[in-house]
Chains A and B, each alone.
Chain A
Amino acid sequence: MTTGKTLYDKHIDSHTVCQLDDDGHVLLYIDRQVLNEYTSPQAFSGLREKQRKVWRPSTSLAVVDHVNPTAPNRIALINDPGGARQVSYFGENCHDFGIELFDVLDKRQGIEHVVAPEQGFILPGMVIAAGDSHTTTYGALGAFGFGIGTSEIEHLLATQTLVYKRLNTMRVTVEGTLARGMSSKDIIMALIRRIGASGATGYAIEFAGPGIGALSVEARMTICNMAVEAGARGAFMAPDDKVYDYLKGRERAPSGELREQALARWQDLKSDEDAVFDMDLVLDSSDLAPMVTWGTSPDQAASISDTVPGPESYDTPSQRRDVERALYYMGLTPGTPLTDIRISHAFIGSCTNARIEDLRAAADMVGDRKVAEHVRAIIVPGSTAVRDQAEAEGLADIFIRAGFEWRQSGCSMCLAMNDDVLEPGDRCASSTNRNFEGRQGAGARTHLMSPVMVAAAAIKGHLTDIREMTEEA
């Protein structure tokens, strides 16, 4: 008996150059890759040492995003010598190997996972690998994207392929529609809490169901982006008309006759009716409350109306130890209502939530209100194009008037590899994807949440249930 194929199988089958063994290893052809300045240098050095060429330079796009400053007045100069060296070596590599680069001052610069879709560089049916774990973002366009390390970048540049082992498949069917003020970030955070930070390790997740269909393409990107925080090595969604509309007119997306041809072929990009998944889950999005993290792992999350949990609510001694350590690091006492947690910083940025729709939603929440006096609130748009658009739409004015810093694009405080770093003990409401110890600065404490929730926290000065804010307004 033959069963149908999942969307994942279709991607892998159509990109398999040859099978390598009976354990599921294949040589996988990669359509595109995105390069950044901090995970690529040693890959290029490897090529240079062995005098190897880049197989097909036109399949790569290079973006400076991790180490560049985001000060409001942008200059090419980077003060930090390590970062400066990475950026200049990156430029040299792109030049010598014939790869297109969006440098710091380029109008198209931004966070790689925001820039690549924006440019129409990512298309349905593609397989994409890149030296950054959030490459899963591209699944929202019906592509299969996954993160790789530097040795693999070198392998990919030299051969256009990777030695790849097939994953198991998981389907997450999202039922229901989100209540007002809720966002796709709450869906993915609820899923991570439910299955755990390694709940999807070894899996590619396909998100399906009416709850996904109802979301915009950008909102879907947030979900695929953060799926890696549950351990998924790929996350995607079948493309639909929203995706095709999104691609229309973008710089590198096909147009005219070629688009028609592509559209015809993309119709097949969905799991067959009788496809069998290794795991099948259902998540109802209509009864979700806004999510926030209280700990140091993305699965240490709760609804905003809850209290900080104690170790005793966990089953195993090792879990209880992990929770104790997280609470100690976060400086939190069990039983504290989450809405009582006072913040010192608010950050809206990152490849998870700094697209134009995120900024629109946040600006809507801000309205004429002001940032609380004791809070330093920062907005770092996902790309320079997003920044320009937000200025054109008047969103920047709303933020600036409210007391937010309005900065240039980059990864910034998402991982604090540039000069946007928190101090020990700072507590930040953040629209990013990782709340690890030290992620935003040594000793700094991160609470993950949606951008609207960050905006609300910035205004109130503490974690806040936006459902109450909307009623007040």
Chain B
Amino acid sequence: MEPFISVTGTAAPMLAANIDTDVIMPKQFLKGIDRQGLDRGLFHGLRFQEDGTPDPSFILNQPAWQGSRFLVVGPNFGCGSSREHAVWGLQQLGIRALIGTTFAGIFYDNCQRNGVLTIKLDPERHQQLADVISNPERNQITVDLEQQIIALENADAVPFQVDTLKRDALMRGLDAIGTTLERQAQIMAFEQRHLAQNPWLK
């Protein structure tokens, strides 16, 4: 997993509420057994016209927001299906962080597990940030996870907070399974006790 420390780039506004994972990664891209080629599927129905050419009205196709590395998203982004393909697609298109007010739970965890930073701001701060980056002249930002701030050009930096455990894992790009397996003995001891108490769970 690519560590996240401080990243600078373009931020694009996608402020509709309840953008679900069916929209982020439509089902025709879920037929793989690997993670390849999902950048093409990302927001497919919005990004491309029926003939396969880019839809100029979609934000990430507009010159000022092409190659965005951040999305400033509306409430409940990522709701619906648990498909992690949605996050793999974001990652493959180069999106490093999502900034919103609320995220759907499974999606939020999936982001974490793939090194995509999710930042929750209170609605007021979020709106201010959205206003700034909706201006093509001012859509460059720096997300600094170490200091937990979003730096803007010609405006006050926006502070945010991420749980220490998550922040640590993201900054170091840790392999979560390896970390957990260091506790193997503890898990085994728990398991033995648990199954002895609840023998029907064996």
Contacts and interface: CB of A to CB of B under 8 A. Distances in A.
Contact of B102 (A18, A39, A52, A198): A198
A23 B166 CA distance: 10
A29 B74 CA distance: 34
Interface in A45-78: 45, 50, 52, 55-56, 67
Interface residues of B, number: 55
A155 B104 contact: no
Contacts of A254: 200
B53 interface: no
Given A133-B106, A149-B109, A198-B79, A163 B163 contact: no
Interface in A127-177: 131-133, 146-152, 154-155, 158-161, 163, 165
Contacts of B33: 41-42, 45, 85-86, 89
15 contacts: A15-B194, A18-B183, A29-B194, A38-B83, A50-B177, A85-B33, A86-B32, A148-B82, A150-B84, A150-B110, A158-B180, A159-B184, A258-B199, A258-B200, A434-B80
Interface string B15-49: 11110101100110011111100000000010000
A219 interface: no
A95 to B, nearest CB: 15
A374 interface: no
Interface in A224-241: 231, 233
Interface centre among A125, A159, A258, A297 (most CB of B within 10 A): A159
Q: For chain A, which range describes its interface: under 10, 10 to 19, 20 to 34, or 35 or more residues?
A: 35 or more
B155 interface: no
Given A123-B200, A198-B102, A233-B106, A131 B187 contact: no
Q: Which of B104, B114, B164 has most A Cβ within 10 Å?
A: B104
Interface of B: 15-18, 20, 22-23, 26-27, 30-35, 45, 74-76, 79-84, 87, 102-107, 109-110, 113-114, 163-165, 176-177, 180-181, 183-184, 186-187, 190-191, 194, 197-201
Contacts of B183: 17-18, 27
A141 to B, nearest CB: 13
A221 to B, nearest CB: 18
Interface of A: 14-15, 17-18, 20-21, 23, 25, 27, 29, 31, 38-39, 41-42, 45, 50, 52, 55-56, 67, 80, 82-83, 85-86, 89, 123, 125-126, 131-133, 146-152, 154-155, 158-161, 163, 165, 197-198, 201-202, 231, 233, 254, 258-259, 261-262, 265, 297, 318-319, 321-322, 325, 415-417, 434, 436-439, 442
